[in-house]
Amino acid sequence: MKYFKLALLVGVICLMSHFYSGDRVFSQSSQSSVQLLTEPALEKIRPLAEKPVKFTFKILDKTGKALNNANIHLTLLTPPRSPWFSTDFPWVEGTTLLDITQPSKTGELQFQQILPIRGNYTFKLEVNPLIVDSFQPFQQTLSLSVSENEIKYRNYVILLVLLLFIGFGGGWIIGAGESLQAGEVVPQRVRLLLSSAIIVTIATLLFICITAEVGSSHSEHEHHQSEMTHSLGDQGQILGATIQLLGQENATVGQLNDFQIKAINPQTQKPISNLPLTIKANQLESNLVIFATQAETDSQGQFRWQQQFFDGSPHELTVTVSPNISSKSQPLQIGKAIEVEAIHPPLVTRLISLSYMIFTLAIAFGLGFWLHRLRPLLNT
């Protein structure tokens, strides 16, 4: 029995030493890290800004120096879905906004991206060496918190005050308890209140319908105009290379879309690598750049990425291929028109928002009604 206990103790010690040695190996690989830089600063980033946020990811070793010749795979996830406090784009919540893999000789990944909603964004990175055994592969997850636009808070306060005023005023008037006149079903004050509420409701509905129709007509006009002015093809040639942009022309809000650029020599049909590319995705109605990056074709003469279009409006994806500095050729630009299908917010989200407004009105109504009935008691 004594020998059995001794053997058991030795086994536990060996197991613990193996476990901790494994931890040290893992910590050595995790000493490589990713540094995130943004422009503007983190605290100034807001959703749907006029300019996209510039993200720079630097791959660093344990001494803080750049890890060159790294293959960087990045996945950008939007904030998780919250049915109780929805954002402007409910279908975008809890989805993948961007998935991109890019080899980097300098150990950096740069791109520009519009962040559509508030909340905590997640960046998942996988870093592998382009040169075998030059460093140990590792993964890292970063998060970024984006605050809501200040104008949204102002609008919330205005709506809250308006609902409180209407509810309190209605409760105060009905709480007056005016006696019925001959032939009346409800008091005159209540009739005036209901008539005013109906008029305001009809005017609001008319305003919403008219503005929606004007916006739809304007969007359709802009779309037709963009189709008329869109003269870029999805294929072209430069310096003996054929460049082709492949991908979907129809997109849906909340879903990823696959895109691919191919560069081949038309005579030999061999791929052309290390071809510099400038990629931009533009929202045509506002002429807003929602995504941009610079990349190069890989050894197969290709560059692939996935991105989401969060706004249901026409977009245009353009790729600019720049010739060598010594060449006198003009840059080649190809493109593709993207029609994005908008999706109405979920019914549950709309019902929850409606319940918030009804609850606010009910509270204000009850407060106004109770205070008016309580006033005679306070005066005595």
Q: Is the confidence at residue 259, as pLDDT, over 90?
A: yes
- The three-state secondary structure class of 178 is coil
Q: Using an 8 Å Cβ cutoff, are 320 and 278 in contact? A: yes
Q: Using an 8 Å Cβ cutoff, are 156 and 139 in contact? A: no
Is the model more confident about 226 or about 354?
Answer: 354
Beta bridge partners of 103: 71
Show the beta-strand stretches assigned E in the chain: 33-39, 53-60, 70-77, 96-104, 108-113, 119-129, 138-146, 235-238, 241-247, 250-252, 256-264, 276-283, 288-296, 302-308, 315-321, 332-341
Domain ranges of the chain: 31-147, 230-341
Phi, psi dihedral angles at 220 (to 5 degrees):
-65, -40
- Cα 91 from chain centroid (whole Å): 10
**DSSP track, 145-162:** EEPPPHHHHHHHHHHHHH
Identity of the residue numbered 338: I
Strand order in the sheet with 33-39: 33-39, 53-60, 108-113, 288-296, 276-283, 315-321, 332-341, 250-252
Question: 């941009």: which residue's tokens?
Answer: 292
Is the model more confident about 329 or about 1?
Answer: 329
Q: What is d(CA 139, CA 126) in angstroms, rounded to the nearest whole number?
A: 5
Strand order in the sheet with 119-129: 138-146, 119-129, 70-77, 96-104, 302-308, 256-264, 241-247, 235-238
- Name the strand (E) or helix (H) holding 19: helix 2-29
Instruction: Please name the CATH architecture into which domain 230-341 falls.
Output: Sandwich (2.60)
Q: Is the confidence at residue 28, as pLDDT, over 80?
A: no
Q: How many CB atoms lie within 10 A of CB 234?
A: 17
Residue in 142, 113, 95, 111 with CA at minimum distance from that of residue 47: 113
Burial 126-164 (b: 16+ CB within 10 A, else e): ebbeeeeeebeebebeeebebeeeeeeeeeeeeeeeebb
Sign of the alpha-carbon torsion through 86, 90, 95, 101: negative
Q: In the prediction, which pLDDT does 325 show?
A: 58
Q: Which tens digit of pLDDT belongs to each residue from 280-318?
A: 999 998 899 999 999 999 989 999 999 999 988 999 999
Mean pLDDT, the chain, as a whole number? 79
SS3 for 255-270 is: CEEEEEEEEECCCCCC
Pick the most confident of 20-34, 114-128, 233-247.
114-128
Confidence of residue 164 (pLDDT cuts 50, 70, 90): confident
Q: How many CB atoms lie within 10 A of CB 194?
A: 13
In words, the CATH class of domain 31-147 is: mainly beta
Q: Which residues contact 314 (CB under 8 A, 6 or more apart)?
A: 219, 222, 223, 226, 283, 284, 285, 337, 338, 339, 340
Is the model more confident about 170 or about 8?
Answer: 170
Dihedral of the alpha carbons of 164, 170, 171, 177, in degrees to the nearest 10: 170
Q: Using an 8 Å Cβ cutoff, are 127 and 103 in contact? A: no
Q: Is the confidence at residue 331, as pLDDT, over 60?
A: yes
- With a pLDDT cut of 70, the percent of the chain lying above it is 73
Q: Which tens digit of pLDDT belongs to each residue from 96-123?
A: 999 999 999 999 999 999 999 999 999 9
Q: Using an 8 Å Cβ cutoff, are 317 and 233 in contact? A: no
| DSSP letter (8 states) at residue 234 | S
